Amino acid sequence: MELLYNIFIDPFVQMGAMPDFLLQVLWEGFVSGILYALLALGFVLIFKASGVFNFAQGIMVVFSALSLVSLYAAGVPAYIALALAILIMAALAVTIERVVLRHLVNQDDIILFMATIGLSYFLIGFGELIFGGEPKAMITEELGLPTGSTTFDIFDGILILQHIDIAAAVIAAILVAVLAIFFSKTRIGRGLRAVADDHQAALSVGISLNQIWAIVWFASGIVALATGIMWGAKSDVSFALQIVALKALPVLILGGFTSVPGAIVGGLIIGFGEKLFEVYWGGLLGGGVEGWFAYVIALIFLLFRPQGLFGEKIIERV
């Protein structure tokens, strides 16, 4: 009885009793939701264009952020370091296309997926070799990003908003808008959707698979860099991030693998859900539930709607 009370009543009583705290939790959830959405966006881009679930997206986030930070530490001015980091991501995209993807055209999804796991291991080793394994601080101020915070007085309490979080939300919104236009309005965007549908068919109408793939990996490299900067500004840049980045998977399950709006909605659902569950219900289970909450939600969701929120139902044929 008491257990039922603790599960079904008490959390809501707490929410009602301290609405300012609830708002703070929701804001935290929103912010991590944005980060998840950004992460998922990188996955969606590549999945849309190549049908590859890019396991290495997480390490790309870390890798790009570390390049940026390390370049700055080596004496390169912040904005030039940013430009160079973008160039590095471009070079990485081209290399990955040349060395890996080009040779795996028309392979099974699972083979491509495992290749990206191999890729991510390679990049972990490579990254640690160059940049060292220890966490580094993000150069937030040097990039001109806001660092302060604003405190609001509401509900007899306070709500603290970090400026960097607001900036993250704005940057995410801009990125999404730009990508949406890119996908629907440009020639490359159309080619990209064609490639996503069928590699061979796209090739046969004269779309350059290699070019499209390099572009898409570059685009998701930029998204990765943005994610890395935002994430690094909240905590440090470290290789531990790439395990956290796996949470993009449940986000994608909720949102569907090919939907940009889906990635955002999914990210926010996971972000809100995770924070609320951890704060109000996690204590019952001994805490630390953030590690699996997203996955379990995705698992339950999968059982009822395997195609995701925005995905289309697949008709199987024989």
Partner 1 sequence: MFYREAGQYKTNYKDDLATFPILQDRIAIGIYLVIAFVAIPIFGNDFFINSMMIPFLIFTLAAIGLNILTGYTGQLSLGTGAFMGVGAYACYKMTTIFPDINIIILVVLSGVFSAGIGAIFGLPSLRIKGFYLVVTTLAAQFFLEWCFIRIPWLYNYNISGAIEVPQREIMGVIITGASASPTARYLVVLSVVVVMTWIASNIIQGRIGRSWMMIRDMDIAAELMGVRPLQAKLSAFAVSSFYCGVAGAMMVFFWLGAAEVESFDVNQSFRILFMVVLGGLGSLVGCYMGAAFIWMLPIMITIAPSIFGLDINAATVEHINFMMIGGLIIFFLIMEPHGLARLWSLAKQKLRVWPFPY
Partner 2 sequence: MNAHVNQNSVSAIDNIAKGDVLLQVDNISLSFGGVKAITDISFDIRKGEIRAIIGPNGAGKTSMLNVINGFYHPQEGTISFMGQQRTKMRPYVAASQGISRTFQNVALFSGMSTLDNIMAGRCLKMHKSFFWQIFRHGPALDEEIEHRKVVEDIIEFLEIEHIRKDPVGALPYGLQKRVELARALAAEPILLLLDEPMAGMNLEEKEDMSRFIIEVNEQFGTTIALIEHDMGVVMDLADRVVVLDYGKKIADGKPAEVQADQNVIDAYLGVAH
Q: Which residues bind partner 1 (CB under 8 A)?
A: 53, 99-100, 103-104, 107, 109-111, 113-115, 117-126, 128-129, 133, 243, 246, 249-250, 253, 285-289, 291-292, 295-296, 298-299, 302-303, 306, 316, 318
- Closer of 160 and 299 to partner 1 (Cβ): 299
The site partner of 313 among partner 2, partner 1, none (C-beta below 5 to 8 Å per kind) is: partner 2
318 is an interface residue for partner 2 by CB under 8 A: yes
Please spell the DSSP secondary structure of 195-243, one letter per residue: HHH-HHHHHHTT--HHHHHHHHHHHHHHHHHHHHHHHHHHS-B-TTHHH
Looking at the Cβ atoms of 164 and 294, the one nearer to partner 1 is 294
The Cα–Cα gap between 308 and 14 comes to: 32
Measured between alpha carbons, how far is 36 from 271 in angstroms, rounded to an integer? 7
The residue (of 1 and 129) whose beta carbon lies closer to partner 1 is: 129
**Contact flag: residue 103 with partner 2 (CB under 8 A):** no
Using rule CB under 8 A, residue 108 touches partner 2: no
Element (H, E) at 154: strand 149-154
Closer to partner 2 by CB, 3 or 318: give it. 318
∠ CA(56), CA(59), CA(63), 5° rounding? Answer: 130
- Residue 317 Cβ vs partner 2, minimum distance, rounded to whole Å: 8
Residue 7: contacted member of partner 2, partner 1, none (CB under 5 to 8 Å, by partner type): none
x/- contact string, 294-313, with partner 2 (CB under 8 A)?
-------------------x
The helix (run of H) or strand (run of E) holding residue 156 is none
Residue 165, Cβ neighbours under 10 Å: how many?
22
The residue among 76, 58, 186 whose CA lies nearest residue 142 is 76
CB of 315 to partner 2, least distance (A): 5
> Can residue 314 be called a binding residue for partner 2 (CB under 8 A)?
no
What is the token pair recorded at 29? 């959830």
Q: How far is the CB of 173 from partner 1 (least distance, A)?
A: 27
How far lies 281's CA from each of 122, 126, 230, 300, in Å?
39, 40, 28, 18
Binding site for partner 2 (CB under 8 A): 313, 315-316, 318
